[in-house]
């Protein structure tokens, strides 16, 4: 894959900022929501959907942690897959844009709200593509907290063992060190992640998940080698934004009007 030029990288950075802007506005309406997930994963979604990685309606895209669907809504509005005016209904009663993805969620091949299940579904897609000779690429977005679920490792083992019976599968992990009870590191030890995935037979690449160039390069390497690829994107739930207090609960950031104003002005300044 061709190396991206400075112009492309700048476009992806601005796309990530606009994902964050949408997320702040969506969460502001209710006063709470999965803002930290959007802030940590903005560059990942910008690169997956803004750089032609996920070929919409050909590739399969699995969103394992359904809480991250806010990022999908935002990037879909930016790339024309979703009417931007629909974003205002995020998390509202009766809305199709539910705060945790469900079977009603548009655009996705599979979204899970119960964590640790997405990789298995993605493997099913990769087998089906292979059986049908369709050569689809299957993408599975995972989060680091759900590495605590044993099913993820059942899937990792299976995918490596059966890789010749599957079409290509790439996993991207938003490693934002956040789960409900606090930092993942305070709850249990899942590290060393890259070594774990390698020992399960995967090719593991670890990058700064807020660096669109590093993410692009890592994901572009998916075609090389016969082992499935996992990209571990190291991120922060504060999305490197100064406005968010350092003691904020990253899993469920509370957004008052003062913080909303500060975030909007900080993000808008990035677009100037």
Partner 1 sequence: MFDPPYPTVLKPYGQALLALARERKEIVCLGGDLTRQTETDFFRDLIPERFFNAGMAEANMIGIAGGLARAGHIVFVNTFGVFCTRRCYDQIAMSIAYPNLNVKIVGFMPGLSSPGGPSHQAIEDVALMRALPNMTVVEPADAVEIGQMVSAIADHPGPVYLRLKRGETPVIFGDDHALKLGKAQVLLRKLGGEVTVVAAGMMIPAALAAARTLGEAGVAATVVNSPTIKPLDAETILAAARGARIVVTAENHTIVGGLGSAVAEAIAEAGVSALLCRVGIADRFAESGSREFLFARYGLSTQSIINAAWNALGRTASAPRAPAIETPEGAYAPV
Q: How far is residue 169's CA from residue 58's CA, in Å, rounded to a whole number?
A: 14
In degrees rounded to 5, what are phi and psi of residue 157?
-65, -45
Does residue 208 interact with partner 1 by CB under 8 A?
A: no
- Least Å from the CB of residue 142 to partner 1: 13
Taking CB under 8 A as the rule, does residue 151 contact partner 1?
Answer: yes
Tokens 């190291």 — which residue? 234
Q: Which is nearer to partner 1, 66 or 239 (CB)?
A: 66
Convert residues 156-185 into a mask of x (bound to partner 1 by CB under 8 A) and - (unbound): -xx---x--x--------------------
- Whose Cβ is closer to partner 1: residue 129's or residue 243's? 129
Asked if 107 is part of the footprint of partner 1 (rule: CB under 8 A), the reply reads: no
Cβ proximity of 138 and 64 under 8 Å:
no
Tell which residue, 59, 23, 25, 65, has the closest CA to residue 42.
Answer: 23
Q: For residue 103, state whether it binds partner 1 (rule: CB under 8 A).
A: yes
Rg of the chain on CA atoms, in Å: 18
Q: Minimum distance from CB of 92 to partner 1 (Å)?
A: 22
Q: Which of residues 109-128 bind partner 1 (CB under 8 A)?
A: 109-110, 112-114, 117-128
Number of residues that bind partner 1 (CB under 8 A): 29
Nearer to partner 1, 81 or 100 (CB): 100
In sequence order, the β-bridge partners of residue 173 are 142, 232
- Residue 100 structure tokens: 């945790």
DSSP 232-256: EEE--TTTT-TTS-TTS-TTS-B--
Residues that bind partner 1 (CB under 8 A): 103, 109-110, 112-114, 117-129, 131-132, 150-151, 154-155, 157-158, 162, 165
């Amino acid at each position: 894959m061709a190396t991206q030029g400075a112009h492309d990288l700048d476009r992806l950075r601005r796309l990530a900022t606009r994902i964050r802007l949408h997320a702040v506005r969506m969460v502001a309406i209710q006063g709470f929501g999965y803002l930290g997930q959007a802030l940590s994963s903005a560059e990942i979604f910008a690169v997956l959907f803004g750089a032609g990685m996920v070929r919409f309606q050909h590739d399969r895209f699995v969103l394992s942690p359904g809480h991250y669907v806010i990022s999908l809504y935002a990037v879909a509005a930016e790339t024309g897959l979703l009417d931007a005016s629909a974003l205002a209904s995020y998390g509202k009663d009766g809305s199709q844009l539910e705060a945790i993805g469900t079977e009603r969620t548009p655009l996705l091949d599979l979204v899970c709200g119960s964590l640790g299940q997405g990789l298995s579904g993605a493997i099913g897609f990769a087998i089906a593509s292979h059986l049908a000779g369709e050569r689809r690429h299957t993408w599975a977005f995972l989060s680091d907290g759900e590495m605590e679920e044993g099913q993820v490792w059942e899937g990792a083992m299976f995918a490596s063992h059966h890789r010749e019976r599957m079409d290509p599968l790439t996993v991207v992990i938003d490693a934002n060190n956040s789960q409900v009870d606090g930092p993942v590191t305070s709850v249990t030890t899942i590290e060393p992640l890259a070594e774990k995935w390698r020992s399960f037979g995967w090719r593991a690449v670890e990058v700064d998940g807020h660096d669109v160039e590093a993410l692009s390069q890592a994901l572009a390497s998916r075609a090389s080698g016969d082992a499935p690829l996992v990209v571990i994107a190291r991120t922060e739930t504060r999305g490197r934004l100064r406005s968010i207090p350092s003691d904020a609960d990253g899993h469920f950031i509370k957004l008052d009007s003062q913080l909303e104003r500060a975030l909007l002005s900080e993000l808008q300044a990035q677009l100037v």
